[in-house]
């Protein structure tokens, strides 16, 4: 493997690691909090909201937005680290 290829595959590994972490959070807030554990979370209240219901109709969406911006930041940093930024 050439130097170039080694760099590319190290970059890709870190990229995939980020994706795993971000998508794990994605799964937890929507499928976890909003569906699978909804009934349990509903016993907790957030103002007028039952917590599970809140995650399903509000919370998960807020987290999604944050996830993409975190991803943008992480990837910009990663691009710089490997010299792929423009």
Dist CA 26 CA 34 (whole Å): 11
Q: State yes or no: residue 28 binds other proteins (CB under 8 A).
A: no
Q: State yes or no: residue 65 binds other proteins (CB under 8 A).
A: yes
Give the three-class secondary structure for 50.
Answer: strand
Q: State yes or no: residue 35 binds other proteins (CB under 8 A).
A: yes
Given a contact cutoff of 8 angstroms between Cβ atoms, the answer to whether 78 and 11 are in contact is: yes
What phi and psi, each to the nearest 5 degrees, are found at residue 49?
-90, 140
* Binding footprint of other proteins on the chain (CB under 8 A): 5, 8, 11-12, 15-16, 19, 22-23, 26, 30-31, 34-36, 38, 42, 46-50, 53-54, 56-58, 60-62, 64-65, 67-69, 71-72, 75-76, 79, 84-86
């Amino acid at each position: 493997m050439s130097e170039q290829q080694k760099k590319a595959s190290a970059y890709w590994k870190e990229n995939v690691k980020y994706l795993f972490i971000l998508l794990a959070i994605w799964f937890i807030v929507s499928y976890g909090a909003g569906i699978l554990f909804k009934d349990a979370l509903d016993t907790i209240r957030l103002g007028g909201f039952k917590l599970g219901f809140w995650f399903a109709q509000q919370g998960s969406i807020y987290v999604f937005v944050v996830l993409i911006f975190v991803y943008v930041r992480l990837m910009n940093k990663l691009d710089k680290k490997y010299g792929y930024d423009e």
